[in-house]
Structures are given as C-alpha cells and as structure tokens.
Amino acid sequence: MNNNEKRLEGYRRLIDIARDLASTLDLDILLNQIVSAASDLTESEAASILLYDDAARQLFFQVATNLDQPTMRGLVVPLDGSIAGWIVTNHKAARITNAQKDPRHFSTIEKQTHVTTGSLLGVPLITKDKVVGVLEVINKQVGEFTDDDEDLMQVLGAQAAVAIENARLFHQSDLVAEFVHELRTPLASIGTATYLLLRPEMSQEQRQSMIHNIYNETLRLNTLASAYLDLARLESGRVQFNLTIFDLAGMLYECIEIMQSQADECSITMEVEIPSDFPQVEADRDKIKQVVLNLLSNAIKYNCPHGKVVMIGGLEDNEWTLAIRDTGTGIPVKAVPHLFQKFYRVQASEGKVAGTGLGLSICKEIVSGHGGTIEVKSKYGQGATFTIHIPKSKH
C-alpha cells in the first residue's frame, strides 16, 4: 500500500471512529476507544490520554493502551517539565524523535509502565478554544512519525475533544440532578424549622428543639456534600492512588480503635481473623482504610445488640481478599442488586439509620480503582458479608 492509499485508508477509519465516538457517553469506554484508535492509526507501540484540570492547572494521567495498572489513573503530570504540559500551554502538537534527550520529558510515567519512550507524537485536545487534555502516541513501529501521522492525530484529537466534553457534560448533569434531589429533604427540614422559629407563639422548649433539628440537618448536608465530592473525584479519575506495601492486620486493628466507641454503644464485638504468616499487601493504604471504615461502620449500624463483626483476610493465586461479616438483620433479596448505586438506601432502614447513601458507591470506586471487585452475600435475618478482592501486584 503506497502513501496515498494509506492516507486515504486512515481518513476512512477516522469517519468510522467519529461515528463510534459520537454515540458513546461512557467516559471510560470513550477514552479507551480513542487511545486504541490513535495507536492503530499511527502504527505506534502505545497511546495515552492525559486530561487537563483548568482550575488546578494540572494534567492527570487517565488511560493508556499499554497499561494494566488502574491505580495509575490520576497520576499528576506537571505543566512545567513535561512534553504534555508544553502541548497544553502552547496549544500545539509536538513531534519528537527521541524523548529521552528532550529536557521536557517527564519520566515518572514510564517508570510505572516499564515502557521506555523513544519517539513521541502528541496533540492537544481542544474544543471551543478550551484544552481538555493531550493525546499522545509513542514509539513508531517502523521509522519516525510523519506529517500524515500528525494530520491524522490532529483530526482524531479534535473529534475526541468534542466527544470527551459531551460525555463529561452528560455525566455532570446526571450527577448534579441526583445530588440536588438528595438536598431537598434536609433543606426542606431546615426551611420548616426556620419558619417555625419566627412564630411568636413558639415556647422556649420548642425553639430549642428546632435549633437542634437545624444543627443536625446542617451536619447531614455537610456530610452529604463531602461524600458527593469524594465520589465525583473518584468517578472522574482525578484521584491519584499511592501504592505502598503494608501490614493488613495492623491497619484493621487501627480501624477497630476508630470504631470502638460506636461499637460499644450497641455492645458489638469486633474481631480480626488473619493468619500470622499473612504477607504484606500492596495497595493505597489510606483508601483501603476508608473502604474498611465504611464497611465496618455499616456492619455495626445494621447489626443486632450484642452482635459481632469479623474481618477475615484471605489469599488466592492472583489476589488477596478481605471479608467483613456481621451478625445483623441481613439485606432483603430485592435490595442486594442496588446496594452500590448512588444514594440508594435499603427501604426498611431509611429513617432509622443515618447515612448518605453514597458510602458503598465510594467503596466500589476505590476497589475498582485498584482493579478489584467488591461483592455482598446476605440472607435476610442472618447477617451480611461484604468481600473485597484486590489483585496482587505484578511488579
């Protein structure tokens, strides 16, 4: 195939790709489609996308064709001291024969991917004069990147920028609609209490009750807003995972100390069952601790008086597991498929147990960010067991 035929075939593929991008609103699927297309079109070893946060003036690594470590999502790439940063700042493409000799090269990512960058071609993702990110391909399989490669990448980048912005707007409008819906109840409660406080016939005792109600609903709003922001950051991929090697049992005992007073109120006992020779695990310690605290809190809240919570560590060929088992009332069968949905509350417990309905969604996003899964098994009236599965590190 001569150069003209290859160029024509490339543009034919771009038409097909444009159709696929226009019909995709799931951001993760969309980004993977873009990097796959970029790598194929330019016949390069790998392709990646870095998204740009204009408010923080930071680029964060989002997806790559040569990456099986989901924890790299959110890795911050500086504007100064990176080729991608130069592309964003100058709104221009960059074509480099040997990135190792370029003073702008940011080597942290290749240390994580274990792929050395030689040749590189990057284009800005621009829509309506706004940069949303950078699309890069590395290591041309034969020869060097050409003018045709750059032209194809510029066209693909323009299509991708529009598709990414559309997917983000759709996702944001969906999230905002859900959040606003959840705000109505506490705001209505505060509004009613404030109206009653203005009435002259209210007794001092009634006024104190209203003030107490306003205070509690304000705390609820603050908790809801914090949880919502946590989830939004996780879903957008802007949270960076910091992997460390740590002792799982030690972290679990820290969680028990934190939750002890809550457990004591209901006379709940907490236990850890992990073999003494259990190896250290690799994960983001703080985020796994956040998952454990959330699951532990639920296991206490939904337990029976004088009940028990047991945390059990396990090992399999390619993963380690942590199960949190309680002796509570269990979960209705019809509720189980919905537990990890945003703002979902089990109907039987609504109004009885405080919560935002976001905790399990956050747990799922954190575990997914580690490339893992979370599952629940429960028989109504016989307690529940939540189990997280985290892949062992390949490096």
Mean pLDDT of 38-52: 89
Place of tokens 């500086």: 78
Give percent helix, percent strand, percent coil of the chain, each to the nearest 5.
50, 20, 30
Instruction: Kindly report, residue by residue over 91-137, the tens digit of the pLDDT.
Output: 999 999 998 888 888 877 777 667 788 999 999 999 888 898 999 99
The pLDDT-based confidence of 70 (bands split at 50, 70, 90) is: low
Instruction: Kindly report, residue by residue over 168-223, the tens digit of the pLDDT.
Output: 777 666 667 777 777 777 788 888 888 888 888 888 888 888 888 888 888 888 87
> Three-state DSSP class for 322?
strand
Q: Helices (DSSP H) in the chain: which residue ranges?
A: 3-22, 27-42, 83-90, 108-113, 147-197, 204-236, 248-265, 285-301, 359-369
Instruction: Give Cβ neighbours of residue 290 (< 8 Å, ≥ 6 apart).
Output: 362, 363, 366
Residue 310 burial by Cβ neighbours in a 10 Å radius (0-12, 13-18, 19+): middle
Alpha carbon distance 216, 196 (integer Å) = 16
Instruction: Kindly report, residue by residue over 302-346, the tens digit of the pLDDT.
Output: 898 899 999 999 998 889 999 999 998 888 888 888 888 887 777
Instruction: Kindly report, residue by residue over 256-299, the tens digit of the pLDDT.
Output: 999 999 899 889 999 999 998 899 999 999 999 999 999 999 99
**Quick one: pLDDT at residue 168?**
73
Nearest to 6 by CA among 38, 56, 49, 43: 43
**Quick one: pLDDT at residue 280?**
93
The secondary structure of 164-190, three-state, reads: HHHHHHHHHHHHHHHHHHHHHHHHHHH
Per-domain boundaries in the chain: 3-169, 243-395
**Quick one: pLDDT at residue 234?**
81
Q: Model-level pTM? A: 0.67
Q: The tokens of 89 are what?
A: 């700042």
Choose the CATH number for 3-169 among 3.40.50.20, 3.30.450.40, 1.10.150.120, 3.40.50.720.
3.30.450.40
**Quick one: pLDDT at residue 316?**
87
Q: Percentage of the chain surpassing pLDDT 70?
A: 90
Choose the CATH number for 243-395 among 3.30.390.50, 3.30.565.10, 3.50.50.60, 3.40.50.2000.
3.30.565.10
Instruction: Give Cβ neighbours of residue 379 (< 8 Å, ≥ 6 apart).
Output: 330
The pLDDT-based confidence of 251 (bands split at 50, 70, 90) is: very high
Nearest to 68 by CA among 46, 52, 44, 83: 46
**Quick one: pLDDT at residue 67?**
65
